[in-house]
């Protein structure tokens, strides 16, 4: 089936060997970037994976009505092994805050299941807009880099932390990210050191994607006729197999690099990366 998909694409559309090589090369390159970013910024790499997949599925002729949903669901699947590799590296350095993960785990799972249901019902441009808004807000926060911007000097407890977990899961499911970027900035607003925030965000990135993949697979089951072969609902097995292994191998390198950089360098790099991603999707929306 893989060979058939590669040669004929969707609805009998012929794809040349050169095009196949280009698509696979783009996915492998996206895997390298995904792994580096996962370890460097404590994110699962969805900000890179979603735009890459969006272009790939567009070339293959995936209908716009399901294209963004397929990108988000596949991104969440790819994030799973990448986030695990990054999290293990941070754990070995002892920077993870286990109490935060315990507070966020269940609410985040609830949030991503709710978000998966919403994503299945809305148009693709709604997911694109959510993507741009979330990454733009995160970019502004990182680039401003004000060390004195604080909600409090210590983390809250109880309902507030559970709300944050719910919000992280909900936002992540709508844009195909692991929640690392969101959780990193929340922790920074409460005075958590940048390296501990990144490490803990990598941990939440392990929790979120699994229920999200299940939700998107179920949500896309009624759209199989519009999806490419080897799709489990809104999850592309081909996308997963091309990007996930490379990203998983590269993620520890990004995590080691993060521990060699200063707080400000991490913030600037993270902010610039998010602005580039947001700009790319604004362009796609304007020319869609």
Find the helix packing angle between 98-121 and 194-207, rounded to 10°. 50
Is 60 in contact with 10 (CB distance < 8 Å)? yes
pLDDT at 164: 92
Mean pLDDT to the nearest integer, 106-111 = 92
How far apart CA 214 and CA 222 sit, in angstroms, is: 14
Domain membership of residue 74 as a residue range: 2-286
The string of pLDDT tens digits covering residues 194-209 is 788 888 888 888 888 8
The string of pLDDT tens digits covering residues 43-72 is 656 767 787 788 778 877 788 888 888 988
Number of folded domains that form the chain: 1
Regarding predicted confidence, which is higher, 166 or 8? 166
pLDDT at 134: 78
- What pTM does this model have? 0.73
The string of pLDDT tens digits covering residues 213-229 is 888 898 888 888 888 77
How far apart CA 4 and CA 7 sit, in angstroms, is: 5
How far apart CA 103 and CA 41 sit, in angstroms, is: 21
Q: Establish how many alpha carbons lie within 13 A of residue 285's alpha carbon, considering only the half-sphere containing its beta carbon.
A: 17
């Amino acid at each position: 089936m893989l060979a058939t998909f590669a040669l004929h694409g969707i609805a009998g559309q012929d794809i040349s060997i050169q095009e196949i090589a280009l698509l696979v090369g783009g996915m492998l390159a996206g895997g390298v970037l995904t792994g580096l970013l996962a370890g460097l910024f404590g994110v699962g790499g969805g900000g890179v994976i979603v735009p890459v997949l969006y272009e790939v599925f567009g070339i293959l002729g995936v209908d716009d009505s399901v294209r963004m949903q397929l990108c988000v669901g596949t991104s969440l699947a790819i994030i799973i092994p990448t986030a695990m590799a990054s999290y293990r590296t941070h754990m070995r350095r002892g920077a993870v805050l286990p109490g935060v993960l315990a507070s966020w785990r269940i609410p985040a799972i609830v949030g991503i299941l709710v978000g998966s249901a919403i994503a299945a019902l809305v148009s693709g441009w709604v997911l694109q807009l959510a993507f741009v808004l979330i990454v733009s807000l995160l970019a502004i926060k990182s680039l401003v880099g004000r060390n004195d911007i604080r909600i409090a000097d210590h983390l809250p407890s109880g309902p507030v932390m559970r709300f944050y977990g719910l919000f992280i899961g909900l936002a992540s499911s709508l844009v195909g990210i692991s929640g690392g970027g969101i959780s990193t900035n929340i922790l920074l607003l409460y005075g958590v050191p940048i390296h501990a925030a990144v490490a803990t965000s990598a941990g939440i990135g392990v929790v979120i994607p699994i229920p999200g993949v299940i939700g998107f697979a179920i949500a896309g089951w009624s759209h199989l006729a519009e999806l490419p072969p080897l799709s489990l609902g809104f999850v592309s097995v081909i996308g997963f197999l091309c990007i996930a292994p490379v990203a998983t191998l590269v993620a520890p390198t990004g995590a080691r690099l993060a521990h060699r950089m200063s707080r400000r360098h991490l913030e600037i790099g993270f902010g610039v990366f998010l602005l580039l991603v947001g700009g790319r999707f604004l362009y796609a929306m304007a020319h869609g």
